[in-house]
Amino acid sequence: MRILFAASEATPFAKTGGLADVVGALPKALARLGHEVAVVLPRYRGMQGQPVLIRSLTIPMGSTLRFPGVVDGGKADRVQFFFIDDPQYFDRDQLYQTSAGDYPDNAARFALLSRAVIELIKRLVRPDVLHCHDWQTALVPTLMHSLYQEDPALEGLPVVLTLHNLGYQGLFPKSCLADLGLPESLFRIDALEFWGQVNYLKGGFLFSDAITTVSKTYAAEIQTEEHGYGLEGVIRSRSGSLTGILNGVDYTDWDPLLDRYIRSNYDSDSLEKKLICKRDLLESFGLPADDLGRPLIGIVSRLTRQKGFDLVADVADRLVRFDLQIVALGTGEPAYEEMFREMARLYPNKIAVRIAYDNALAHKIEAGADIFLMPSRYEPCGLNQIYSLKYGTIPVVRATGGLQDTIEPFDPATGQGTGFKFRKYSGQALLDCLALALNLYRDPRAWRQLQLNAMSRDFSWQRSAEQYARLYESLRPARIVAASPSSNV
């Protein structure tokens, strides 16, 4: 099967979050299953590519034309990459925004990307399935059902849209339709109109042949008022086409036996070496390492309300009374950055924080911590809790989204389970759950069994890729057409 991915970011080329990890890993997993896979991305600053495959595509943008090129991004792990080259739109310091806020022309930037994807299909490739990701390419199915509806080159091409985080929808003023050359007829309740604005993601939900999101629980949650961000009715109307497929992880990057960033490699047969990593982690953060028996809590996260740090703020004065140490890594909302700085100032022997993005230090935390804390308000999938399992670092999480789907509560009576979960969104529930974990930590035999359970779980990409492949196949019988002779996906 020929599969074309369209997205705004992918590792190793450009990344702001989990979207890049998925678009970097899932195509490789599908290629290993024998499929022909290509990925279309914007050509951001620093992205190398040659030769030029198409010197210019003609893209109408309101009263003007733009002429982006298509550059060969090369092949990696049997996956072909194509870069849409428009320096004025994509050669910038950041992908979507600066410290002052979103780029004011994001509507145009990603409308151009969406139209360029369609033109690339017409000129260069003919996939069996087109797989779009998040709001940045959600305009593709809308365009295919409006401006390109009668185009024979696109006839029968099924489109899958994957939602990674409903908190980001691509909302723009109504005036952007005229600026982008999109028909006024799209500004209606059963198309792009959303409370007086244009909503790219809404159009993607309505016009894609299938919709996926990144965990089964999140697929159910986004159909509720609490987690639907105003689109719950639209999503419920497409519930028959909605599937939750859990993200995988790349164990070539996240495996304590292979990890090049940690002081000592280990596996389930050499768990005692985890103490070497714990000492190294404490020293890296400047915390006392004289008592390695004291439980060490690790946090690697965006420091935001979505990630549950309002709960931590609510109970910070009680949290520090536990006999534990905490190391935190991340950036985010100033109030939570300052909260951790103040906690570290008041309790310098117990708490340390690094306000930064540091991949090497994130690996050290996964390997050296005893417990990993993720109290998220919502979490579409989450990856750190899955990394933690592999490292024998026990997750304490809120039962939402992918956290609910990946962590099984430990039962001391049966010895089954992989972590600890709390359901109510409250600081007290977080403290009660953490207390359970700390109590079990005092029982070395039970704790080791819990670690072994966690390390035995497999969340590799192959299983997820097989689910996506079955979904793609299910879309083909009704809509399949022969690929054009020029296809090289």
User: Strand, helix or coil at 350?
Assistant: coil
Confidence of residue 49 (pLDDT cuts 50, 70, 90): confident
pLDDT of residue 175: 94
Asked if the model's pLDDT at residue 316 lies above 90, the reply is yes
Confidence of residue 367 (pLDDT cuts 50, 70, 90): very high
With contact defined as beta carbons under 8 Å apart, do 54 and 85 qualify?
Answer: no
Eight-state DSSP code of residue 171: E
Listed residue (417, 413, 386) closest to 250, CA to CA: 386
What CA–CA distance (Å, rounded) separates 301 from 309?
Answer: 10
Asked if the model's pLDDT at residue 85 lies above 70, the reply is yes
Note the pLDDT tens digit of each residue in 255-290.
Answer: 999 999 999 999 999 999 999 999 999 999 999 999
Average pLDDT over residues 368-380: 97
Note the pLDDT tens digit of each residue in 50-66.
Answer: 899 999 999 999 889 99
What CA–CA distance (Å, rounded) separates 229 from 218?
Answer: 13
Select the CATH number that applies to the domain covering 2-248+462-479 from these four: 3.40.50.2000, 3.20.10.10, 3.30.750.24, 3.40.50.300: 3.40.50.2000
Eight-state DSSP code of residue 241: G
What CA–CA distance (Å, rounded) separates 248 from 325?
Answer: 30
Confidence of residue 18 (pLDDT cuts 50, 70, 90): confident
Tokens of 119: 């033109």
What CA–CA distance (Å, rounded) separates 266 from 272?
Answer: 8
pLDDT of residue 487: 43
Query: What DSSP assignment string belongs to 78-124?
Result: TEEEEEEE-HHHH-SSSSSEETTEE-TTHHHHHHHHHHHHHHHHHHT
The pLDDT > 90 percentage for the chain reads: 93
pLDDT of residue 486: 41
Asked if the model's pLDDT at residue 384 lies above 80, the reply is yes
Higher pLDDT among residues 9 and 482, named by residue: 9
Note the pLDDT tens digit of each residue in 185-240.
Answer: 999 999 999 999 999 999 999 999 999 999 999 999 999 999 999 999 999 999 99
Asked if the model's pLDDT at residue 141 lies above 80, the reply is yes
Asked if the model's pLDDT at residue 153 lies above 90, the reply is yes
Average pLDDT over residues 387-407: 98
Average pLDDT over residues 402-427: 97
Strand spans (E) along 88-217: 97-98, 101-102, 129-133, 159-163, 171-173, 193-194, 197-199, 210-213
Beta bridge partners of 172: 198
User: Strand, helix or coil at 417?
Assistant: coil
Length reported for the chain: 489
Query: What DSSP assignment string belongs to 29-76?
Result: HHHHTT-EEEEEEE--TT----SEEES---EEETTEEE--EEEEEEEE
Q: Say how many CA atoms lie within 13 Å of 288 toward its Cβ.
A: 11
What CA–CA distance (Å, rounded) separates 320 from 317?
Answer: 6
Note the pLDDT tens digit of each residue in 225-256.
Answer: 999 999 999 999 999 999 999 999 989 889 99
pLDDT of residue 50: 86
pLDDT of residue 477: 59
User: Strand, helix or coil at 3?
Assistant: strand
Confidence of residue 100 (pLDDT cuts 50, 70, 90): confident
Tokens of 224: 């509720």
Residue 338 Cα to chain centre, angstroms = 26
* Equal CATH topology for 2-248+462-479 and 271-457: yes
Confidence of residue 489 (pLDDT cuts 50, 70, 90): low
Task: Determine phi and psi for 186, rounding to 5 degrees.
Answer: -75, -15
Q: What class, spelled out in words, does domain 271-457 have in CATH?
A: alpha beta
Measured on CA atoms in the order 425, 426, 432, 436, is the torsion positive or negative?
positive
Q: How far is CA 54 from CA 37, 81, 83, 335, in A?
A: 19, 14, 10, 48
Average pLDDT over residues 94-108: 93
Q: How far is CA 114 from CA 7, 16, 274, 436, in A?
A: 9, 19, 47, 49
Neighbours of 376 (CB within 10 A): 24
Domain-wise residue ranges, the chain: 2-248+462-479, 271-457
Calculate the average pLDDT of the chain: 95
Confidence of residue 484 (pLDDT cuts 50, 70, 90): very low
Note the pLDDT tens digit of each residue in 444-483.
Answer: 999 999 999 999 999 999 999 999 999 999 997 544 433 3
